[in-house]
Structure 1
Amino acid sequence: MPWILVFLFCLFCAPAQAVTIPGVTTGASASQEKAPPPEPDVEQKKAAYRALADVLENDTSRQELIEQLRKVADTPPKEQVPVITPPEVEDQKTVLENITDVGRHYGEALSSRFAQLYRNLIGSPHKAFNPQTFSNAASHFLILAASVFTLYWLLRLCAWPLYLKMGRWGRKKNREKSSWLHLPLMISAAFVIDLLLLALTLFVGQVLIETLHAGSKTIAFQQGLFLNAFALIEFFKALLRLIFCPRVPDLRPFTIQDESAKYWAVRLSILSGLIGYGLMVAVPIISNQVNVQIGALANVLIMICITVWALYLIFHNKRAITESLLHLADRSLTFFSLFIRAFALVWHWLASAYFIVLCFFSLFDPGNSLKFMMGATFRSLAIIGIAAFVSGLLSRWLSKTITLSPHVQRNYPELQKRVNGWISVSLKVARILTVCVAIMLLLNAWGLFDFWNWLHNGAGEKTVDVLIRIALILFFSAIGWTLLASLIENRLVSDVHGRPLPSARARTLLTLCRNALAVIISTITIMILLSEIGVNIAPLLAGAGALGLAISFGSQTLVKDIITGVFIQFENGMNTGDLVTIGPLTGTVERMSIRSVGVRQDTGAYHIIPWSSITTFANFVRGIGSVVANYDVDRHEDAEKAKQALRAAVEELMEMEDIRGLVIGEPSFAGIVGLTNTAFTLRVSFTTQPLKQWTVRFALDSMVKKHFDLADVRAPVQTYQLLPAPASGTPPTPEEPTL
């Protein structure tokens, strides 16, 4: 409360301190100290409170206000006290307002482009048409074009028999399966020869330009336009011949029908010729020789016709191409099949968008549109090809496994599986990163995303740094877990030198230790990864501590189970496979965890017993087993004869090799250990191996029965006393008992 009063006092006395706060102070200066300012009214006070609340509500303005207050407090008295000006609070726009702003921006840009196109069609300067100059330039241009086309056609005609021989030889080697490299080598060689013929034609065309331009720079310029367009278009046609190869099917790298190959090769060649020669040759020549307006109009008409025809081809063949892509996906690897199926669903929209964008670019920027689109297309094809090649290599490596030597597999049984698992995960992550980088490079190729600027500045550099850190953390975590788990598993198996298997207690403790290491390493790795990606793990640690405290109070039985189980394990009380008696249950231990033990009875029933409920238990496999056999003999039998028969039975039992190996030491005869009215008891005891006492006892019973029968030693006879019923009315008289 005192601090609030001090704050209110300072607030209302602020005009006396040469500091101006909008809405609170009244702008008084130090020179007016003698004249006290008027008392603000209620509305001014409310406005001051609202202004101060707005300043304090914004985190940035509040921090700046605090800094300015500290600066005012630290200002020496002789200096002018700075004026506190709260920062301007920027209005936060809604998502709808942002979308509206973006739409307005691009709408204005599009309308300005159409306005510029209209000015090119209407307001361009007129140029006088000179028929003589036009006819002279056209004749030289046609002579060069005819010469270049004829030369290139003759060269390709001469090379056609060579292509046929190369295709037959490559297919023959491929059918013989002598090597898979021959056919791809012939396909690549045919493409290289095609490019060499194109280069030779361009060289001859350049020589012809030097001799056919008639000393006119305009004619030379127009012929140069043609030669550049010819080079670009024929290079694209060479790529089409590489893919479809309509005249030499043996050199076709893909399984395509001859009719489909000819159909698409012809139409795509015509389409590329119309685009290239129309935009790069016809439009510039018309603009230069006839009129700029007519050239712009020709550009619009050419691009509209090309776009309409391209859209017709796309949607006319949509179903056939989609079915072909789905069939290709069925024959591809799973990873590539996913992308091919996705592409089959949207390929027609992508192709339509490509030609529509090309149309708009050519309308707005005729000089650079085709160059940009072709460059982006070639870069995209190169990126997709390289990404597919790298992904294919990674997929091939995924199908392979590392095989360790038999010695290593014997000592470390899970090491090979674990190493192959880590490598498989790493290759899958590398394949995903390859796809992501390829997508970003494709966006960069089309000018939608500046990949290199993003990579070297700001978020890109930070992202790459975080990814490298994450990779290193996961790598060292995997190495540490693999080494520790392999060492533990090495202790769980015998080695080539005959080292015996560890005890059941050691196996149980090592298994629990391995599980605990897995939990610890996983938790630490997750925490470090969260901190690397910018997540504040302090609240998580605090929350985990509070949660652990709450759980410890709310689940005391669980904690008691864990602690009791740990002590039983360290005391080697029981292990997996032991025969134990826990309370009323007797069975074999099948499973032991940190909370409970699983016991299987001989009836097949499986019991889960918490450690905390075990007060006492018996273990039948600790050290030795014991057999204490008692045999009752009729009281009237000769004791020495019975003892001799028992010794004979034991001697014959000890002569059995399978039983003698189960008995430790010699049997012990106690003689007569009990005497009743009808029998006396003989006892013999054995010390056996653990869990073998029942086998020895069953065999001993058989031998005793055999030798007692041979010696005519009788078992106790049950006796009954029969009393006759007395006659009615007469008291009973005692008679001799009947046995």
Structure 2
Amino acid sequence: MTGAIQKVIFTCTLALFVSFFALAPSTGLAQDTSSELPAPLQPEAMQKLVSDLDPEQVEALTDLMTLLQQSAAAGEAAAAAPEGPGFVAQLQMAAGNFGGMVAGHFQNLPDLFTSLFAAIGALFSGAIAGPIHILIGAIALILAAGFAGEFLVNRLMATRRDTIQNKSPESLFETVKIVSTRAGFDLGGLIIFAVIALIVARVAVFDPVTRSYALQAVFWIVFMPRLVAALLRFALAPNRSELRLVTADDPTAKSLYHNFTTLFAVVGVAFFLRNLMEGAGTDAGGTFRFFVGFGVNAWIIAVIWKARHGLTSIILGDEHDPTSGLERMARFWPYFSMAFIAFNWLLVQFTASMGVDALTAGRSLAVIALVVFAPFLDTMVRGIVSHIVPPMQGEGPVAEAAHLQTRHSYVRIARVALLAFLVLVVGRIYGLNLLALGGDDGSAVARNSVIFLLILAAGYLAWEITNLWVAHQLAKDSPPAESQDDDAEMGGAGKSRLATILPLMRVVLQITIITLTALLALSQLGINITPLLAGAGVIGLAIGFGAQTLVQDVVSGVFFLMDDAFRLGEFIDTGGTQGTIEKISIRSLQLRGTKGAVHIVPYGQIPKLTNLSRDWVIMKLKFTVPFDTDVEKVRKLFKKIGQEIMEMEEFKDDLLAPFKGQGVADVDDVGIVVRGKFTTKPGKQFGVRKEIYKRVQRAFEENDIQFARKEVRVQLPENTNLDDKQKEALASAAAAASAAETGKPPA
């Protein structure tokens, strides 16, 4: 063991000296070093030292010296290598290449026309696809056979077509069914056309070159525009607005249909001419593709600009009350589409100037088609959502708002999924596998970026799921809206306990989701979140010490909610402040007073809480009758009135105990005070009270019972002779004296 350690130490020491002398030439210290070496390290001493080594040490020393020499050579090469251009220089170089390419294309315009005419001349001379008359005959034969087959299929389906043509849909489902059937007939006819055309071309056209060009002409100039027209008829139905799957007026639908059909016909002719130029060997480089691409993109931008208002209507759809976000997106999308189309064309040309051919014309056209038809996909998403959204649960405005919130959440989730799909497809078209960037084989920056976006998407999904769950529970637990009497002084029955707590739970969950999503996203970007957590703890501690009133309010509110002391919609008394609960926050209550005033009451300032809307309400009514009234008769009248009201449709479900008399409650200087009472659901007592007052007044009149009035009686001696004026003056004086005694003005 000791010998091995000694060998290692010896080897390391020797390596240090050898490395010093190996690196000496690069540092200028190797000039005549043999004469300056100390005696122990003279060449003779070195040779003697090496001769004393065993074979293993010599081999290790040789390998070490070889490695050091390779490292020194690599260092010298790296030092001698020139530095590459910087980012700004590379950008200037790329911009120069792009400008040079554009200028070159304009300079090549004469050559382009020369090449194009040469290719057309070679076609008519028979140098490309054989004799021109044979090519034209082959094209005519293929078209005739294809159209004949398609005509026979349409004749067989004529009855069904006429049925669809004359049938008017009554629902969205029938509209989709009719349009899908019609599109199936159209596409089926095109498939028959293509199959028969291929078979006839294979059987009747013997020259493979002639057959190839004939099929190219049929495909690009005839089949492709008809296929696009069939797809546009499916979505736009330009001639039948009742079958239109999108919300667009007739001018917009017809304009989009005719413009895009004509555009693809022109594109088909351009592709056929490009093949002719390649076949004739007169291809003018990328000049033809440059100008065709420019013309196609400019055409699409012009079509979108002309139909921008119609595209906005398509995105808005049939929303009667669209959200502000949907309105902004609908107005913004046409302009975004035009900007993106211009950017896509510039990107294709810019990459072409750098020698990158990944973004071909076909890929560029596919990306443009996705962007242009994104509003149609959004309409399709809304249509699907309208069928999968669960029906509204419960009744009333709360249930309606919850159902609307559920529908909006479904639409937003579907739009996020649609956007993710479009981004992935566009990335694929551009040659980027965005999903693979998040794998272990992707770069660190790309992987972290993809994971960052996934975290944001997961947080948004959690947010929407929270909204969906809360909306579902609110719709299920909220009773329908009930009309309240104009004379009502207090709120009716409150909502359920869950409906009261759910809004607070939603706020807490949303804050938690935002916090966790932000922290995880920042962590994925490489930001150290430990100081943020520590700072949040310090801030929370400072708030706890410095805002004791706030903490008291929050803690008191938690215990009030745990005790189920109040619910939304209930009428409460917080020790001097009364009102109906309209809103509950983490710190305070919002009460609507009987006169319309809004009271904000912090939980910590509620000494006691009286709930006047829980379970049932007893209302007691007092009536003052003269002293000579038959109290038993009054009791029977009250009982009869209570039975009549219990049988009324308006009140029978709200009365828990009928109105009945309670006998004499008091006797004052005016008369006898009789009392009656009844029990109702919270908030329903006022309508019953109004009906009872009306019926008691009528019953008293029918039975000659008068309500007692306050009277002042003046007793005069029997032999007093006073005229009417004197009696009236005496009565006024007595009334004034009585009023002065009681503190009330005379009646």
User: What's the TM-score once normalised by structure 1's chain length?
Assistant: 0.54
1:180 corresponds to: 179
CA contact (8 A) 1:587 1:600 kept: yes
CA contact (8 A) 2:405 2:468 kept: yes
- Residues 219-262 of structure 1 deviation map (CA, whole Å, 9 limit, x = unaligned): xxxxx5x765655454322444425889xx99x99757999899
The answer to whether 1:237 aligns with 2:221 is yes
CA contact (8 A) 1:244 1:256 kept: no
2:137 corresponds to: 150
1:5 corresponds to: none
What are the equivalent positions in structure 2 for 1:593-608 lying under 5 Å apart? 593-608=585-600
What are the equivalent positions in structure 2 for 1:516-535 lying under 5 Å apart? 516-533=504-521, 534=524
Aligned pair count reads: 558
Deviation at 1:432, TM superposition (A): 0.8
2:421 corresponds to: 434
One-letter amino acid of the counterpart of residue 176, structure 1: N
2:719 corresponds to: none
1:515 corresponds to: 503
Q: Judging changes above 3 Å, is the alpha-carbon distance between structure 1 residues 385 and 238 closer, same or farther for their aligned structure 2 residues? A: farther
Aligned partners of 1:399, 1:551: CA distance in 2, in Å? 47
One-letter amino acid of the counterpart of residue 651, structure 1: R
1:558 corresponds to: 550
CA contact (8 A) 1:454 1:461 kept: yes
Which is bigger in relative contact order (C-alpha 8 A, separation at least 6)?
A: 2
Deviation at 1:275, TM superposition (A): 2.0
- Residues 182-221 of structure 1 deviation map (CA, whole Å, 9 limit, x = unaligned): 5434433443345345534654698446xxxxxxxxxxxx
Q: Secondary structure at the match of 1:400?
A: helix
1:329 corresponds to: 311
Aligned partners of 1:486, 1:309: CA distance in 2, in Å? 56
CA contact (8 A) 2:635 2:660 kept: no
Deviation at 1:443, TM superposition (A): 1.7
- Residues 135-172 of structure 1 deviation map (CA, whole Å, 9 limit, x = unaligned): 9xx98867566534422323324544555676785974
The answer to whether 1:397 aligns with 2:384 is yes
- Residues 414-457 of structure 1 deviation map (CA, whole Å, 9 limit, x = unaligned): 8865654443222111111122123212322xxxx566864663
User: RMSD value over aligned CA atoms?
Assistant: 6.8
- The equivalent position to 2:90 in structure 1, one of 101, 126, 149, is 101
1:3 corresponds to: none
Q: Secondary structure at the match of 2:389?
A: coil
Q: Judging changes above 3 Å, is the alpha-carbon distance between structure 1 residues 621 and 704 closer, same or farther for their aligned structure 2 residues? A: farther
The answer to whether 1:199 aligns with 2:198 is yes
Q: Judging changes above 3 Å, is the alpha-carbon distance between structure 1 residues 681 and 141 closer, same or farther for their aligned structure 2 residues? A: closer
CA contact (8 A) 1:233 1:276 kept: no
- The equivalent position to 1:657 in structure 2, one of 627, 641, 658, is 641
1:279 corresponds to: 278
Aligned partners of 1:713, 1:379: CA distance in 2, in Å? 92
Aligned partners of 2:711, 2:257: CA distance in 1, in Å? 103
Deviation at 1:394, TM superposition (A): 2.8
Q: Secondary structure at the match of 1:458?
A: coil
Structure 1: tracts of 5 or more residues without a match: 1-16, 34-78, 91-95, 119-134, 210-223, 284-297, 495-502, 634-640, 673-678, 721-737
One-letter amino acid of the counterpart of residue 236, structure 1: W
Aligned partners of 1:183, 1:700: CA distance in 2, in Å? 69
CA contact (8 A) 1:577 1:590 kept: yes
CA contact (8 A) 2:220 2:269 kept: no
Deviation at 1:506, TM superposition (A): 8.3
Q: Judging changes above 3 Å, is the alpha-carbon distance between structure 1 residues 489 and 32 closer, same or farther for their aligned structure 2 residues? A: farther
Deviation at 1:271, TM superposition (A): 3.6
Percent of aligned pairs with the same residue? 14
CA contact (8 A) 1:504 1:575 kept: no
Aligned partners of 1:253, 1:655: CA distance in 2, in Å? 71
Q: Secondary structure at the match of 1:180?
A: helix
Q: Judging changes above 3 Å, is the alpha-carbon distance between structure 1 residues 571 and 241 closer, same or farther for their aligned structure 2 residues? A: closer
Q: Judging changes above 3 Å, is the alpha-carbon distance between structure 1 residues 608 and 205 closer, same or farther for their aligned structure 2 residues? A: same
What are the equivalent positions in structure 2 for 1:346-361 lying under 5 Å apart? none
What are the equivalent positions in structure 2 for 1:126-525 lying under 5 Å apart? 143=130, 146-160=133-147, 169=158, 172=162, 174-177=164-167, 179-181=178-180, 183-196=182-195, 199-200=198-199, 203=202, 207-208=206-207, 231-242=215-226, 255=254, 268=267, 271-280=270-279, 282-283=280-281, 298-300=282-284, 306=288, 310=292, 321=303, 325-326=307-308, 329=311, 332-334=314-316, 342-343=336-337, 373=360, 376=363, 393-404=380-391, 420-444=407-431, 449=432, 454=437, 457-458=441-442, 507=495, 509-525=497-513
CA contact (8 A) 2:293 2:361 kept: no
Q: Judging changes above 3 Å, is the alpha-carbon distance between structure 1 residues 206 and 538 closer, same or farther for their aligned structure 2 residues? A: farther
Q: Judging changes above 3 Å, is the alpha-carbon distance between structure 1 residues 537 and 156 closer, same or farther for their aligned structure 2 residues? A: same
CA contact (8 A) 1:598 1:606 kept: yes
Deviates more, 1:565-574 or 1:529-538: 565-574
CA contact (8 A) 1:311 1:352 kept: no
Aligned partners of 1:703, 1:113: CA distance in 2, in Å? 99
- Residues 72-117 of structure 1 deviation map (CA, whole Å, 9 limit, x = unaligned): xxxxxxx9xxx9x9xx999xxxxx94122233367579989999xx
The answer to whether 1:543 aligns with 2:535 is yes
CA contact (8 A) 2:438 2:451 kept: no
- Residues 655-687 of structure 1 deviation map (CA, whole Å, 9 limit, x = unaligned): 453399566894466778xxxxxx699777777
CA contact (8 A) 1:669 1:683 kept: yes
Aligned partners of 1:303, 1:271: CA distance in 2, in Å? 13
Q: Judging changes above 3 Å, is the alpha-carbon distance between structure 1 residues 568 and 700 closer, same or farther for their aligned structure 2 residues? A: farther
Q: Secondary structure at the match of 2:600?
A: strand
Q: Judging changes above 3 Å, is the alpha-carbon distance between structure 1 residues 269 and 650 closer, same or farther for their aligned structure 2 residues? A: closer
Aligned partners of 2:134, 2:433: CA distance in 1, in Å? 44
Structure 2: tracts of 5 or more residues without a match: 1-15, 24-28, 30-35, 39-63, 80-84, 108-121, 169-177, 239-253, 317-328, 481-490, 646-656, 717-733, 738-747
Point out the structure with max Rg over C-alpha.
1
Aligned partners of 2:562, 2:261: CA distance in 1, in Å? 80
CA contact (8 A) 1:383 1:442 kept: no
Q: Judging changes above 3 Å, is the alpha-carbon distance between structure 1 residues 232 and 682 closer, same or farther for their aligned structure 2 residues? A: closer
- Residues 439-491 of structure 1 deviation map (CA, whole Å, 9 limit, x = unaligned): 212322xxxx5668646631566666666676667667766775677568756
One-letter amino acid of the counterpart of residue 601, structure 2: I
CA contact (8 A) 1:628 1:683 kept: no
Aligned partners of 2:375, 2:594: CA distance in 1, in Å? 61
1:57 corresponds to: none
User: What's the TM-score once normalised by structure 2's chain length?
Assistant: 0.53
Q: Judging changes above 3 Å, is the alpha-carbon distance between structure 1 residues 484 and 258 closer, same or farther for their aligned structure 2 residues? A: closer
Q: Judging changes above 3 Å, is the alpha-carbon distance between structure 1 residues 256 and 159 closer, same or farther for their aligned structure 2 residues? A: farther
Q: Judging changes above 3 Å, is the alpha-carbon distance between structure 1 residues 667 and 563 closer, same or farther for their aligned structure 2 residues? A: farther
